[in-house]
Copies of this chain bind each other. A is one copy, B any other.
Amino acid sequence: MAASFHPPQRTLMGPGPSDVNPRILEAMSRPTIGHLDPAFIGLMDDVKAKLQYVFKTNNTLTLPISAPGSAGMEACFVNLLSCGDTAIVCQNGVFGGRMKENIERCGAKAVMVEDEWGTPVSIDKVAEAIANHPEAVALCFVHAETSTGVRSDAATLCEMAREAGMLSIVDTVTGLAGIDVSVDEWGADAVYSGTQKCLSCVPGLSPVTFSPKAVEHIQNRQQKVQSWFLDMNLVMGYWGGEGKRAYHHTAPINALYALHEALCIVEEEGLEASWARHALHHRALVAGLEAMGLSMQVAAEYRLPQLNAVNIPEGADDAAVRAALLNDYSLEIGAGLGSLAGKVWRIGLMGHAANHKNVLLCLHALESVLRAQGVAVQSGAIDAANGVYHTE
């Protein structure tokens, strides 16, 4: 008899997946129906409307790509870029680098605007790149860098792109539902996200939205989109809206039940209330970490509340601390990546995981593990965090 897999019960405070609300797991386990079933078509319409709400957009082409965030990223690039195009890419972490990979694999040229990891995209450098590369068709940047916990100024960057006659392509995988994502107000042209971050849903889908200008660009392409699976000209026929749905690929039915439930939960709480909750627990976590004597990697004004990069204190063994948290507390936090590998831990407070209990667990567990491993930390983390909760 083959053994069924029973996962351990973790508290997920890494860079995602985040703790999934049990309501979502239950919704996902409802009976599978067909991807052309009238009942499913109704669900698709509702998912689309709810995504428009969290993206703050009226864009008709708003839908979940049937694959993880990396595929959502790829969907934006392969549909908007053609061979021979130039695009400006802002890199201040892992995901700007992945944008470059995508652009080059489209046969396009990436002009890089580099900023130090842990800092936001420099508006001045972008202005210079735009001035030097008027031929660029797109300005691409990461709104919420999952690898560093930095927020960049999406409104300004989208405006600069628009004024230069370029399309804006925005990664907000970690942003959506955790901080303000105002697609229409920004005038962003293509924006992608993931389900496993502040939506607290299972990983596997990538919500995307395209402006009317982006849709026009896609419909007027001279070259075919290099990916059949991600070709929005075809996907539109299934998700597009008006009239009969044409079969394109088999949608991941049950994952869409999960996303729908996740979006119901955001709607019930209210988008602004969700952002406020992320901000509150972030302040409490930071107060606790600082009381312990630890320091944050990112300057306060650019911090993402949902992804907290804390500097690894002197004398601490990165991997050993994370292993002890996992083994002794069943608590997952994230390692640093790239130039921040071994220098920071990434503590996520995403969606359902952004709550009082998790903040206290994390502070208590981290303090205990650091002490047990001989790292000097100060007392009072829990009190400092509770101080935030009690005064607000």
Contacts and interface: CB of A to CB of B under 8 A. Distances in A.
A270 to B, nearest CB: 11
Given A228-B98, A229-B74, A264-B2, A202 B252 contact: yes
Interface stretch (A27-35, A148-156, A278-286, A357-365): A27-35
A46 interface: yes
Given A228-B98, A250-B68, A332-B37, A4 B27 contact: yes
Interface of A: 1-10, 12, 14, 16-17, 19-20, 23, 25-35, 37-40, 43, 46, 50, 66-71, 73-74, 98, 101-102, 104-106, 194, 196, 202-204, 224-229, 247-255, 257-258, 260-261, 263-265, 267-268, 326, 332, 337
**4 nearest A-B residue pairs (beta carbon):** A204-B252, A67-B67, A2-B264, A29-B29
19 contacts: A2-B268, A5-B43, A7-B30, A7-B31, A7-B33, A14-B34, A20-B32, A25-B254, A28-B254, A29-B29, A35-B203, A66-B204, A67-B68, A68-B249, A68-B252, A71-B71, A74-B228, A98-B228, A203-B254
Contacts of A250: 16-17, 68-70, 194, 196, 203
Contacts of A226: 105-106, 226-227
Nearest to A9: B31
Contact of A4 (B70, B225, B261): B261
B68 A7 contact: no
Given A105-B224, A267-B2, A202 B32 contact: yes
Contacts of A68: 66-67, 249-252
Nearest to A65: B67
A203 B252 contact: yes
B28 A10 contact: no
B25 A31 contact: yes
Given A28-B29, A203-B254, 6 more contacts: A2-B265, A7-B43, A20-B32, A25-B32, A70-B229, A70-B248
Nearest to A39: B8
Contacts of A224: 104-105
A205 to B, nearest CB: 8
Nearest to A173: B250
B261 A5 contact: yes
A337 B252 CA distance: 21
Among A5, A33, A38, A264, the one with the most B-chain Cβ atoms within 10 Å of its Cβ is A5
A189 to B, nearest CB: 20
B25 A29 contact: yes
Given A66-B67, A255-B255, A10 B33 contact: yes
Contacts of A101: 228
A7 B257 contact: yes
B203 A5 contact: no
A214 to B, nearest CB: 20
